[in-house]
Structure 1
Amino acid sequence: MTNYQEINAWKLKKNFTLIEASFLLTDKIPVKLNDEYLQDNTSEMLLDKLIKTVETDEDGFFYLCGYPSTNQYCSSASGYDEKHKVFAPPHKNVAFPKIAFSSFANDNNLKCEVFSPLTDKEKLKINRKGYETRLLKIMDNTILDFWINFDPSQPDTAPKNIDVVNYIKRYGVKGNIAEAMATIIRHESAPKGRRKKID
């Protein structure tokens, strides 16, 4: 199997361990010898950075860029009481979803095949650490269709509020809620009031 074919095979995976990602983030194929990955200096440095990026919640569960571990490793804690718990760092085999590593790559300006650049929609989702509801999805779609290319230095690039409201209503959202959603996503530097007619 060629390197290109191997990269494509890794692309099909949905979840990755920290040590696997430490290779793939620089387009290197993880190679094992006697069940241990053969790390170079680059992958060791990336693994260390990944481990330091992982956060631990109050119950000891791990999160990378807002996304929970997918193999449910839980950190053991030491300390005097609940307020002074110290959690152990994640093991290199703790796994996270692909989008968590795409977010890490995006934050650290790493370009790689497996964790390709995030789409605008994925970036919107990451800002909420993966949290989604039906109305948030509708707002994401509206932002992508109306506001993603807005340029504050060019007021005419702002959409008309009525167009935004009507778009949201197409999803079955009631009038007053659609208007509130349009207000929430409206850029603060967008011009207010009716536009002047050009002769």
Structure 2
Amino acid sequence: MNTIRMLLVLMAVSGLFAFSPPDHRAEGYSIGDIAADFSLKNVNGDMISLSDFGNAKGFLVIFTCNSCPYANAYEQRIIDLDRKYKSSGVPVIAINPNNPKFRPEDSFENMQRRAQEKSYTFPYLMDQKQEVFPLYGAKRTPHCFLLEKTNSGNIVRYIGAIDDNYQDAGEVEVNYVEDAIEAMLEGRKIEIEITKAIGCSIK
């Protein structure tokens, strides 16, 4: 009798889990979610938050790093995106999500060197506690999240890749991020809201 009762209890509990709503936060943000702010250390030593950018209309948050060849292939395009859209109110906010214990090239000191060598025009932040990238749901480097600044908060408008050709900027056919930013700034619907990020897994 006790065995039967125990089985019934286990079935009831498993049923609760089976029909309980999924927690999409475990997978990061979805389109339309409000992204939480953060405070991360920049390569110049300052702590940076999205709230520091009072005149911004949005943000292009990109999880990237020094060590990944995909991130390196996109590096100049990331610099160009910041130069093109910062003046329109959509700056790049680059975040290194990797643990330098596993990727020594991604140490804070190497981030500082990289930013100086490449003349980064945007903040390059370290997710030292590795708390921000899982909140966003970043899986790869690079992985982009376009946020629109509103009175209700920073709303996620696009998630995914920068464009459709990491190998050759000259052969790109669809500029996902640029198209999304242009649509957001013009108040139009973003036609492609989610794409697959192509890059190295976060370490």
TM-score with structure 2 setting the length: 0.21
Higher helix share goes to which structure?
Answer: 1
TM-score with structure 1 setting the length: 0.21
Q: Which has the larger radius of gyration?
A: 1
Higher strand share goes to which structure?
Answer: 2
